[in-house]
């Protein structure tokens, strides 16, 4: 069961995402590469926030997560300067699996297209469509 989302929570999550995205751009850690903050899920009491990130180079996501974990105190300090809440949340960084799965599907489709196997696959999926062409 998903937890309810309230307008204030959505606004706070969006502000945290914006602040962290701007601050991550300023980081010079070579492990990071091009990191995109795709979402934030802050706890209702604001003591903890899970930050979902993605990278262009999917195989480097583990290095990026390590770089972000090392920079977490700096990012948290920047967050504390920008938002006015009772607590500044502890940050936990996780890979956005939706983006990773999308990249994987796209790579599979590209491979199928390169092998010119799209037509036979489509015929197997929709035999009535191939009969219409005959």
- Indicate yes or no: pTM above 0.85: no
Q: Give residue-wise pLDDT tens across range 59-95.
A: 888 999 999 999 999 999 999 998 888 889 999 999 9
Using 50, 70 and 90 to split pLDDT, how confident is the model at 104? Answer: confident
Contact 34, 78 (CB under 8 A): no
In the chain, domain spans: 1-95, 97-134
Residue from 41, 29, 13 nearest 72 by CA: 29
Find the length of the chain: 134
Name the strand (E) or helix (H) holding 51: strand 48-55
CATH fold for domain 1-95: GMP Synthetase; Chain A, domain 3 (3.30.300)
- Whole-number Å distance between alpha carbons of 20 and 73: 12
Which stretches of 27-88 are DSSP H helices?
61-82
Q: Give residue-wise pLDDT tens across range 49-68.
A: 999 999 888 788 899 999 99
Q: Give residue-wise pLDDT tens across range 2-21.
A: 455 677 788 999 999 999 99
């Amino acid at each position: 069961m998903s937890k309810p989302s309230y307008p204030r929570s959505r606004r706070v999550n969006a502000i945290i995402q914006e602040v962290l995205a701007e601050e991550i751009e300023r980081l010079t850690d070579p492990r990071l590469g091009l990191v995109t903050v795709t979402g934030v899920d802050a706890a209702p009491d604001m003591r903890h926030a899970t930050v979902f990130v993605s990278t262009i180079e999917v195989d480097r996501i583990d290095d990026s997560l390590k770089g972000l974990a090392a920079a977490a105190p700096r990012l948290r300090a920047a967050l504390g300067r920008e938002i006015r809440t009772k607590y500044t949340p502890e940050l936990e960084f996780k890979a956005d699996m939706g983006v990773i799965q999308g990249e994987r599907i796209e790579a599979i489709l590209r491979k199928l297209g390169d092998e010119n196997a799209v037509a036979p696959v489509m015929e197997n999926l929709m035999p009535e469509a191939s009969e219409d062409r005959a």
